[in-house]
Amino acid sequence: MSEQARRGRPGYDRDQILAVAVAVFNEQGYDAASVAQLAERLGVSKSALYHHFDSKEELLAVALDQALGGLEAVLHTTEATSGSAADRLGAVLRGAVRVLVARLPFVTLLLRVRGNSDVERAALKRRRAFDQNVTGLVRAAQAEGSVRADIDASVATRLVFGMVNSLVEWYRPNGSESADQLASDVYAVVLDGLRTR
């Protein structure tokens, strides 16, 4: 169904439905959540929900694209594509933290994907490609001598993003730390640990 045909319907818009769906998926797990539960949470009929999204799978695909699209966009910023490898790595790291904060429910959902469907497998493939790009930046920073070369680049990437991804478990957007401050804190902890002495 075209986007044009979906406009003008009273009630929730696509973004509002998507936000509620992501909340339900995060609370109950994607596989356990049903369209009936989503409709009930929204207080609409299933047909009203289907007016905006063709299926539960489409809701998942759009939600995962919110997270992955944000992360992939970080790789193409000016800061992430120019300067030293260490500077580019730092820009990607800070940018990823900002995406996580700005799109917290979507990133939380992405981190819970296990590959049980074609949509999930496609998301995991995109996530692996992002990780490989970051690993390439770590290798380049090691080659220029700005970060430690005694840690395997792929292991360093996993450790760094293990820390970044853990933010979904404890970070609260209404807390005292802004996204920029959090990005700077993560950057300082990571780069101090990876920097050559």
Q: Which residue has the higher pLDDT, 4 or 86?
A: 86
Residue among 47, 84, 89 at smallest CA distance from 191: 89
Give the confidence band of 179 by pLDDT, cuts at 50, 70, 90.
confident
Is residue 191 scored above 90 in pLDDT?
Answer: no
* 46 and 120 part of one domain: no
**pLDDT score for 193:** 66
* Among 11, 28, 54, residue at a domain's last position: 54
Would you state the pLDDT for residue 4? 42
| pLDDT for residue 6 | 43
In a 3-state reduction of DSSP, which class is residue 195?
strand
Chain centre distance of CA 180 = 17
48 and 140 within one domain = no
Domain that holds residue 175: 63-194
pLDDT at position 194: 59
C-alpha distances in Å from residue 95, one per residue of 65, 183, 190: 17, 7, 14
Q: How far apart are CA 178 and CA 72, in angstroms?
A: 22
CATH of the domain at 80: 1.10.357.10
Phi-psi region of 130 (alpha: psi -120 to 50; beta: other; left: phi over 0): alpha
Q: Is the pLDDT of residue 57 over 70?
A: yes
- Start-to-end CA span in the chain (Å): 58
Q: Which pTM was predicted? A: 0.87
On the question of pLDDT at 196 being above 70, the answer is: no
DSSP-derived letter for residue 146 is S
pLDDT confidence of residue 197: 57
- Give exposure, 73-91, as e/b (b: 16+ Cβ within 10 Å): ebbeeeebeeeebbebbbb
Verify that 74 and 156 share a domain, yes or no: yes
Q: Percentages helix, strand, coil for the chain, rounded to the nearest 5? A: 75, 0, 25
Chain segment 9-45, per-residue pLDDT in tens: 446 889 999 999 999 999 999 999 999 999 999 988 8
- What per-residue confidence (pLDDT) applies to 195? 62
Same domain? For 129 and 183 the reply is: yes
36 Cβ neighbours under 8 A, 6+ residues apart:
46
Of residues 6 and 168, the one with the higher pLDDT is 168
Number of domains in the chain: 2
Greater pLDDT, 136 or 173: 136
Residue 192 has pLDDT above 80, yes or no: no
Same domain, 44 and 72: no
Tens digits of residue pLDDT in 90-127: 999 999 999 999 999 999 999 999 999 999 999 999 99
Domain boundary among 54, 71, 93: 54
Torsion sign over Cα 159, 135, 181, 109: negative
pLDDT at 173: 83
Task: Tell me the three state secondary structure of residue 147.
Answer: strand
- What confidence category does residue 1 fall into, taking pLDDT thresholds of 50, 70 and 90? very low
Tell me the torsion sign for CA atoms 112, 118, 122, 128: positive
pLDDT of 3 over the 70 cut: no
Q: Which amino acid is at 93?
A: L
41 and 73 inside one domain: no
Confidence of residue 134 (pLDDT cuts 50, 70, 90): very high
